[in-house]
Amino acid sequence: NAGVTQTPKFRILKIGQSMTLQCTQDMNHNYMYWYRQDPGMGLKLIYYSVGAGITDKGEVPNGYNVSRSTTEDFPLRLELAAPSQTSVYFCASRPRLAGGEDTQYFGPGTRLTVL
Amino acid sequence: QQQVKQSPQSLIVQKGGIPIINCAYENTAFDYFPWYQQFPGKGPALLIAIRPDVSEKKEGRFTISFNKSAKQFSLHIMDSQPGDSATYFCAAFPRGANNLFFGTGTRLTVIP
């Protein structure tokens, strides 16, 4: 299994541009997540999905949109990029385990700079 | 509001030392407490986890100590090695919820 893959690895955007960060998992996990990681701030949840067709906001959803049309893919859309969106973005997935234990599997991240 | 408070922000120890990272929480609905390890340029990966019905869990050189009454838990790394240099995140998972709450991370450096 490739696990969780993210593309691109790096991207520089100009203010006002849009882009989509891609995330794919091949583990047939129900749950998928998007986080952003800023220095000294830990991981903040942007959006998550509990299955195809179902998404919900996390802690910091403003300026982002998501969709989940398949189990495998969970793209994150940035509209009208702003410098405050400069960050490292991580996608993660986890299975729905009967015991409720939450082992999230993370992708390698996308480093985004907005200038 | 940070649901899981983590300290210290950074930590430097000599090889063989025992770094200790502390986390605290208020929400009594949390019932699963994982620690994640992140190397530079990589995504976090699960290191060890504990449920509040035990006070300690050990896996290799990594130990979680859990104090339910104080709502605190900590990670101890025995005989630390330079290869343990990474950022460590504590996290908490609320009963019946869908997502984790992460601490702010501790950057550990182990000096040879």
Q: What is the DSSP letter of B9?
A: S
State residue B88's pLDDT score: 97
What's the confidence (pLDDT) of residue B14?
A: 98
Residue B37: name the closest of B92, B93, B105, B109 by CA.
B105
C-alpha separations of A32 from A40, A112, B36, B106 in Å: 24, 20, 17, 25
CA–CA gap between residue B93 and residue A92 (Å, rounded): 15
Question: Nearest-CA neighbor of A92 among B2, B89, B3?
Answer: B89
pLDDT range class, residue A73, cuts 50, 70, 90? very high
* Chain A residues with CB-CB distance to B104 below 8 A: 40-42
pLDDT computed for residue B63 by the predictor = 97
User: In order of start, what are the domains of chain B with their CATH numbers?
Assistant: 4-111 (2.60.40.10)
> Nearest chain B Cα to A109, which residue?
B43
What does the pLDDT read at residue B87?
Answer: 96
pLDDT tens string A9-68: 999 999 999 999 999 999 999 999 999 999 878 899 999 999 999 999 999 999 999 999
Question: Are B6 and A42 a contacting pair at CB < 8 A?
Answer: yes
pLDDT value for A42:
87
The 3-state DSSP class for residue A77 equals: strand
pLDDT < 70 stretches in chain B: none
pLDDT at A68: 97
Closest chain B CA to residue A47: B99
A4-96 is classed in which CATH architecture?
Sandwich (2.60)
pLDDT at A102: 66
How many A/B residue pairs have CB atoms within 8 Å?
53
Extents of the domains making up chain A: 4-96
Name the pLDDT band for A83 (thresholds 50, 70, 90). Answer: very high
